[in-house]
Amino acid sequence: MQPLLIAVFTVSVISLPQIGSAAESDATAEPHSVSGATAGTTQGRERTIERIRELERKLDETIVISFKEAPLANVLGEISKRTGITFHINEAALMDDGMDSLQEVSFSTGETAISVRDVVRLASQNLHLALINDSGIAVLTTQTAADDALETRVYNVRDLLEDAAVHRGPLAPLWIGGSVSAAPGSVPNKSIEMPPANELLIVIKSATAGPWMNIDGLGGSIKHFDGLLVVSQTQGVHRELADLFRQLREADKLQSWSEGFPKNTTEAEREAHQQHNEDLFNSPE
């Protein structure tokens, strides 16, 4: 066995029954919403939000690292020393799954630098662990605990809804089963009118991992109000949502539409669309 050779460092290991505010300290079997990041004074909220954003930036930085059969706490300590990220280990959650911070992990980036987020994810995936950004602290916990920690965020999607209404009219038909055409003498399939907001909700639930309460009987929820989406979900799904909205907005900039139907695109536009699709296909996870 070849343990990781590193300098002296410290890694914080804490026991957290749940990730969230003190008011949510009573453990329950039901998912809970993380509200600590928006509690307190306006200045306190702003400082917390900045800490959250700073950690996200650090997690997206890339490093080259290798370790073999090294204790999990040592690995996080080495990453902390290199990046300045403060890590905590949810020791209580790991104990519930029969593990601790000395669990050995192995991983190597080779010569390719990858994000800190991906290093932690890939190194711990066999242990079914997940990383949570709790008010700017990187908390490593079990996937089960992470799935139970729901955050409520508000997304402004008025631009997407307004563009959809302009491009295709305020209501778009949704065909129910079968083909639009019908044989002579037969009754054609009916369609219903669907507002753009409903269509967007369907896209979101189809394109994200979920789970969603109204589909799966557990998980997050999503509500629409005046062009705003109020979403209660895990941090992982929130990242998927942010990426989905980014792709929708980028795709909309590339495609010009007439009233009701796509226009005849030029050769330059077709090349731009093709390049956009290739960039999405080739982009890293």
DSSP state of 189: P
Tell me which of 189 and 76 has the higher pLDDT.
Answer: 76
Distance CA(47)–CA(38), nearest Å, equals 10
Distance CA(104)–CA(71), nearest Å, equals 4
Distance CA(44)–CA(160), nearest Å, equals 32
**Statement: residue 177 has pLDDT above 60:** no
Full-prediction pTM beyond 0.75?
no
Contact 11, 81 (CB under 8 A): no
In this predicted model, what pLDDT tens digit does every residue of 106-131 receive, in sequence order? 999 999 999 999 999 999 999 999 99
Question: Does CATH number 3.40.50.12280 belong to domain 12-148?
Answer: no
Element (H, E) at 235: helix 235-254
Contact 154, 230 (CB under 8 A): yes
Distance CA(7)–CA(132), nearest Å, equals 26
For residue 256, the model assigns a pLDDT of 56
Mean pLDDT of 34-44: 64
Confidence of residue 232 (pLDDT cuts 50, 70, 90): very high
**Statement: residue 278 has pLDDT above 90:** no
For residue 185, the model assigns a pLDDT of 55
- Where in the sequence of the chain do the CATH 3.55.50.30 domains occur? 12-148
For residue 51, the model assigns a pLDDT of 94
